Amino acid sequence: MKFEAGTEVTPVVRLVRPLGSGGMGAVWVADHKTLRTEVVVKFISEELATDPVSLARFSREASAAAAVKSPHVVQMLDHGLMADGTPFIVMELLDGEDLRHRLERKGTIDLPLLGTILSQTCKALGRAHTAGIIHRDIKPDNIFLCHSDDGDTFVKLLDFGIARSGTPTDFHVTKTGAIMGTPFYMSPEQAIGEPIDARSDLWSLGVVAFEAMTGTRPFQGATLGALTIAICSETPPVPSRINPKLKPAVDAWLARACARTHDQRFATAREMSDAFAAAILTTPSPHIGPLAFQATLPSRTPVPPAPPAPPASPKPVAEPLATTAAPLARTQNDAPPSRSRRSLGVVGGMLVLGGALVAIAATLRPPATSSGAPPTAAAHEPLASSGPAPHASQGWVEITPPVAVPPPSLPSHEPALAPQPRVVPPPGPPASGAKPRRTAPEPRSPAATGAGCDPPYFYDALRNKVFKPERLE
């Protein structure tokens, strides 16, 4: 029939102006007298009005959409037949544009906005799948982006015309009339007429996301047969190779959304939506690993390099250097210490060595004695700084003239030792001109030699005690 403005579709719905052509017929804006608002009326075309399959699909669109209780599904107000037998559907009037027109204007969709679109579309699909309804025609034309007063995007899912269908017959219905673009978004099982489930809709939504991110469709074909072969045999391209701004996490998300085997896809629409939100928020770093925490180390003021240290002997200095430099290297992820830190280690080692030498020199310094005072014998104490401690099994015994008790010297950090036994000379003066008879001398510490006495030994360069031959006679 020919539709004109003022035509009454129902006693309460009157046509106002044409809105365009829908997938299966004409679309008009109409006044709803009872609701006192504008609505949309959709008619089936005359060519399809005699096709039983098309008539069933047209009627199914209204009933399936009404069965899905979701704010993200277009609201159905009425459907039926006009006086002349023409089917019609009355639905809410939406203000905005579908995703197809948005892509034609923008080329691609930013990831945050695409995340919002996918999230709300998945909410609508989740409600439909819970109700046992498979949409089977997910494409940019059926995802409507509504304008809102606060500027946020609100998605409405349209056209449930082939919902609940799983027979190969509807493949021919899909390629009938003005909806030839639908096969670009079909899943492999849907394209060859196999039974489908909710994961077929998720494949189609993944193809829509690919087109929104890259501006191109993942599968192309000059004919319907070539397109079907591409969908069933080719692997979807990697999105980041077309749009370098995309992250590897998005590539992994699409590979799962459009997996060849439906068992490897997302199980639910909610899982698919959550995974995409996580993928666009992920910030991979090439420095993940042991070196990653270097960026979190507190900044340090650069230390000026120390002046070159004089060469030191290998034995005393090597060990302090190793113990000082190792902790610095460990705080920088096992990296070699800088030149300034090596210099600080050398200086620290020399300070430790210098302190030890000062303590030894203070111990060896001869104390002042009174003139003519006879020296007294002192207890033999082992050296704590270097060299082996004297032992009773060595059999070294030395008789020395008494010496004066030395005055207090610098404080020593050596532990207090127990009194050692000493050997005193026999009573009576020695024979005139005869030297005191003694056995092999016992090593003595500098404190035991008395003030101003010539010890019977000396230390070589390796701190080994060497006895003087003339004192051993």
- pLDDT recorded at residue 239: 95
- pLDDT recorded at residue 459: 81
In the predicted structure, residue 276 carries a pLDDT above the cut 80: yes
In the predicted structure, residue 109 carries a pLDDT above the cut 90: yes
Kindly state the helix (H) or strand (E) to which residue 199 belongs, with its residue range.
helix 198-214
- pLDDT recorded at residue 316: 47
Is the separation of the CB atoms in 237 and 226 below 8 Å?
no
DSSP 3-state assignment of 81? strand
- pLDDT recorded at residue 320: 45
In the predicted structure, residue 431 carries a pLDDT above the cut 70: no
Query: For residues 385 and 354, which has the higher predicted lDDT (pLDDT)?
Result: 354
Average pLDDT (374-399) is: 46
Banded pLDDT at 353 (limits 50, 70, 90): confident
Q: Which residues contact 409 (CB under 8 A, 6 or more apart)?
A: 362, 363, 365, 367
Closest Cα partner for 184 from 141, 155, 133, 134?
A: 141
- Which DSSP symbol is given to 407? P
Measured CA to CA, the distance from residue 211 to residue 432 in angstroms comes to 121
First to last CA, the chain: 144
In the predicted structure, residue 381 carries a pLDDT above the cut 50: no
pLDDT digits (tens, 9 = 90+) for 315-330: 544 444 444 444 444 4
Neighbours of 378 (CB within 10 A): 21
In the predicted structure, residue 1 carries a pLDDT above the cut 90: no
- pLDDT recorded at residue 5: 85
Average pLDDT (71-99) is: 90
Closest Cα partner for 146 from 191, 189, 101, 105?
A: 101
The dihedral through the CA atoms of 450, 451, 452, 457 has a sign that is: positive
Share of the chain above pLDDT 90, in %: 33
Banded pLDDT at 290 (limits 50, 70, 90): very low
Q: Mean pLDDT across the chain, nearest whole number?
A: 74
- Token couple for 56: 């069933």
Measured CA to CA, the distance from residue 103 to residue 99 in angstroms comes to 6
Q: Which of 48-62, 226-240, 359-373, 432-446 has the lowest mean pLDDT?
A: 432-446
Start and end residues for every CATH 3.30.200.20 domain found in the chain: 1-93
- Which DSSP symbol is given to 73? B
Banded pLDDT at 166 (limits 50, 70, 90): very low
- pLDDT recorded at residue 363: 67
For residue 92, the cross-strand partners are 39
- In single-letter form, the type of residue at position 358 comes to V
Question: How do beta strands 26-32 and 96-98 pair?
Answer: unpaired
- Which of 31-40, 409-418, 445-454 has the highest average model confidence (pLDDT)? 31-40
Average pLDDT (333-353) is: 64
In the set 137, 159, 170, 201, the catalytic residue is 137
In the predicted structure, residue 251 carries a pLDDT above the cut 50: yes
Banded pLDDT at 343 (limits 50, 70, 90): low
Average pLDDT (201-220) is: 95
Helical ranges in 215-338 per DSSP H: 224-233, 239-242, 248-257, 269-281, 314-330
User: Which segments of 93-241 are extended strands (E)?
Assistant: 96-98, 143-146, 154-157
In the predicted structure, residue 90 carries a pLDDT above the cut 90: yes
CA dihedral angle for residue 126, residue 128, residue 129, residue 135, rounded to 10 degrees = -110
Architecture of domain 95-285: Orthogonal Bundle (1.10)
In the predicted structure, residue 121 carries a pLDDT above the cut 90: yes
- pLDDT recorded at residue 272: 97
In the predicted structure, residue 382 carries a pLDDT above the cut 80: no
Closest Cα partner for 258 from 211, 195, 192, 193?
A: 211
- pLDDT recorded at residue 249: 95
Start and end residues for every CATH 1.10.510.10 domain found in the chain: 95-285
Measured CA to CA, the distance from residue 297 to residue 468 in angstroms comes to 60
- In single-letter form, the type of residue at position 422 comes to R
- Token couple for 211: 């087109």
Which single residue is written with the structure tokens 């002997």? 313
Give the rounded distance of the alpha carbon of 18 from its chain centre: 54
Banded pLDDT at 107 (limits 50, 70, 90): very high
For residue 32, the cross-strand partners are 13, 37
Question: Could you give the C-alpha distances from 335 to 288, 291, 294, 327, 345, in angstroms and in order?
Answer: 17, 10, 11, 11, 16
Catalytic-residue membership of 137: yes
Average pLDDT (11-36) is: 85
DSSP 3-state assignment of 254? helix
Average pLDDT (65-93) is: 89
- pLDDT recorded at residue 392: 45
Give the rounded distance of the alpha carbon of 316 from its chain centre: 46
Query: For residues 287 and 55, which has the higher predicted lDDT (pLDDT)?
Result: 55
Query: For residues 438 and 168, which has the higher predicted lDDT (pLDDT)?
Result: 438
The per-residue DSSP string of 374-406 comes to PP--------SSSSPPP-GGG---------PPP
Measured CA to CA, the distance from residue 140 to residue 191 in angstroms comes to 18
Q: Which residues contact 53 (CB under 8 A, 6 or more apart)?
A: 169, 170, 173
- Token couple for 254: 């699409």
Question: Could you give the C-alpha distances from 133 to 58, 74, 119, 209, 325, in angstroms and in order?
Answer: 15, 15, 19, 22, 70
The dihedral through the CA atoms of 350, 355, 358, 360 has a sign that is: negative
Report whether CATH 3.40.50.1220 matches the domain 1-93: no
Average pLDDT (116-145) is: 94
Query: For residues 27 and 467, which has the higher predicted lDDT (pLDDT)?
Result: 27
Banded pLDDT at 18 (limits 50, 70, 90): confident
- pLDDT recorded at residue 37: 92
Phi first, then psi: what are they for 96, rounded to 5°? Answer: 155, -145
Banded pLDDT at 283 (limits 50, 70, 90): very low
- pLDDT recorded at residue 365: 62
